[in-house]
Amino acid sequence: MKRFFFTSESVSEGHPDKLCDQISDAVLDACLEVDRHSRVACETFSSTSLVLVGGELSTTAQIDVKKIVRKVAKDIGYTNPDYGLDYQSMTVMDMIHSQSPDISQGVCGTGLPEYHGQQGAGDQGMMFGFACDETPELMPLPLMLAHRLLRLAAELRKNGTIHWLRPDAKAQITVEYEGYKPLRIDAVVVSHQHDPDKSYEEIAETIKNKIIKPILEPTGLLDSETKYFINPTGRFVIGGPFGDAGLTGRKIIVDTYGGMGRHGGGAFSGKDPTKVDRSAAYMARYLAKNVIAAGFATRCELQLAYAIGVPFPVSVMIDTFGTGTVVEAAIVKAVKKVFDLSPAGIIATLDLCKPIYQKTAVYGHFGRSDCPWEQTDKATALQAAL
């Protein structure tokens, strides 16, 4: 079987792009908490001592955008002007306006006569879902390991165990495969922002022994040939929005499958569930997981495609990469029989009009046990449909 190396990365909650994703989703959650029918398309930009929030918003909720922004920054750990962003002193600009009526009429079912009264997709586009049996979460191994490294780093930073860590960080894992089986971890890259008074030797030793080894040694995939690259520039003091501007939606591969599965191109954060960029991608993940759980394949990618204002997908595709036990066309028929793939059906099936989104904006939207699209409760129904 073919041997190859595959790499995935994750970024921390303090990464400038992830700061923006979390703010956009915090605004969405604040609206949904009051008004389940809120329409939100929120975009955030961050730079040195500045956060700008813009986009479209139609809701009955009265929200304090500036208060939301400062709370997100504080919770992440931007509490010191030396970090380049301080939740108390930073400038926050609110540039949000109402949703376009042209978009609204398609979503509300007041557009073309043939779809009158039916909720249509909020935009055109294609969305992908992916699942594989490499991990208990049915996710690609390199991405899940990178997420776990940064989750642990954030925990140790916030509880004071490694008090000199700062909020910004990245991790990258390279796994050697034989076919679709992970054989070993070939390379580990961790770049973590830190206080200026720490030596490189202390930083590298601490990150390796307290962050990398506790996560990766239990996998049994480290060996004498594994390479480690820890803060490879030698210094990472300037970070966050001071080191690089941040923007909502720039980490879509981190958000999904680490490059292992395809991506339709649309970002998730800041978008309410009428936007199929988000809701249909969640549904596609739900479908792919249930195909695996039903025993139809060990690897599955599923594509849904929509047209704006149209209340059903214009296409459904499934690829099992040669691992299928059932003909793919038969799986597609079963999926269409078991699942309601209309925009309204997706929202109802996954109960998406709840304030559940801010937590998804860091460490990936998939592979999480606390999200409805991660259930495998339809596996038996798929089996029966065949």
- Asked if 56 is an active-site residue, the reply is yes
Mean pLDDT of 295-323: 96
What is the rounded distance in angstroms from the CA atom of residue 184 to the CA atom of residue 169? 24
Q: What is the pLDDT of residue 102?
A: 60
Q: What is the pLDDT of residue 119?
A: 85
- Asked if 170 is an active-site residue, the reply is yes
Query: Predicted confidence band at 76 (pLDDT cuts at 50, 70, 90)?
Result: very high
> Tokens 């929202």 identify what position?
347
Q: Per residue in 255-304, pLDDT tens?
A: 999 999 999 999 999 999 999 999 999 999 999 999 999 999 999 999 99
What is the rounded distance in angstroms from the CA atom of residue 166 to the CA atom of residue 196? 10
Q: Which of 18, 285, 289, 365 is catalytic?
A: 18
Residues of the chain above pLDDT 90, percent: 90
Q: Which of 151, 194, 275, 365 is catalytic?
A: 275
- Asked if 67 is an active-site residue, the reply is no
Query: Predicted confidence band at 98 (pLDDT cuts at 50, 70, 90)?
Result: confident
Q: Per residue in 177-232, pLDDT tens?
A: 999 999 999 999 999 999 999 999 999 999 999 999 999 999 999 999 999 999 99
Q: Is the pLDDT of residue 115 over 80?
A: no
Q: Which of 13, 15, 21, 29 is catalytic?
A: 15
CB 269 within 8 A of CB 248: yes
The CA radius of gyration of the chain, in Å to the nearest whole number, is 22
Count other C-beta atoms under 10 Å from residue 225's C-beta: 10
Q: Is the pLDDT of residue 335 over 80?
A: yes
What is the rounded distance in angstroms from the CA atom of residue 25 to the CA atom of residue 21? 6
Q: What is the pLDDT of residue 303?
A: 98
Q: Which of 271, 285, 299, 378 is catalytic?
A: 271
Secondary structure letter of residue 89 according to DSSP = T
Query: Predicted confidence band at 100 (pLDDT cuts at 50, 70, 90)?
Result: low
Query: Predicted confidence band at 97 (pLDDT cuts at 50, 70, 90)?
Result: confident
Q: Hey, is 306 helix, strand or coil?
A: strand
The two counts, helices (H) then strands (E), for the chain are 12, 13
- Asked if 251 is an active-site residue, the reply is yes
Residues of the chain above pLDDT 70, percent: 97
Q: What is the pLDDT of residue 170?
A: 98
Secondary structure letter of residue 90 according to DSSP = S
Q: Which of 245, 307, 381, 385 is catalytic?
A: 245
Average pLDDT, the chain: 95
Secondary structure letter of residue 233 according to DSSP = T
Beta bridge partners of 57: 40
The residue ranking higher by pLDDT, 101 or 295, is: 295
- Asked if 244 is an active-site residue, the reply is yes
DSSP string computed for 334-357 = HHHHH---SHHHHHHHHT-SSS--
Q: Which of 170, 194, 278, 299 is catalytic?
A: 170
- Asked if 227 is an active-site residue, the reply is no
- Asked if 296 is an active-site residue, the reply is no
**Listed residue (16, 301, 272, 251) closest to 146, CA to CA:** 251
- Asked if 307 is an active-site residue, the reply is no
Q: Which of 45, 128, 130, 236 is catalytic?
A: 236
Q: Which of 43, 137, 272, 319 is catalytic?
A: 43
- Asked if 236 is an active-site residue, the reply is yes
Q: Which of 21, 56, 123, 319 is catalytic?
A: 56
- Asked if 66 is an active-site residue, the reply is no
- Asked if 275 is an active-site residue, the reply is yes
Residues in the chain: 386
Q: Per residue in 134-167, pLDDT tens?
A: 999 999 999 999 999 999 999 999 999 999 999 9
Q: Which of 134, 137, 277, 374 is catalytic?
A: 277
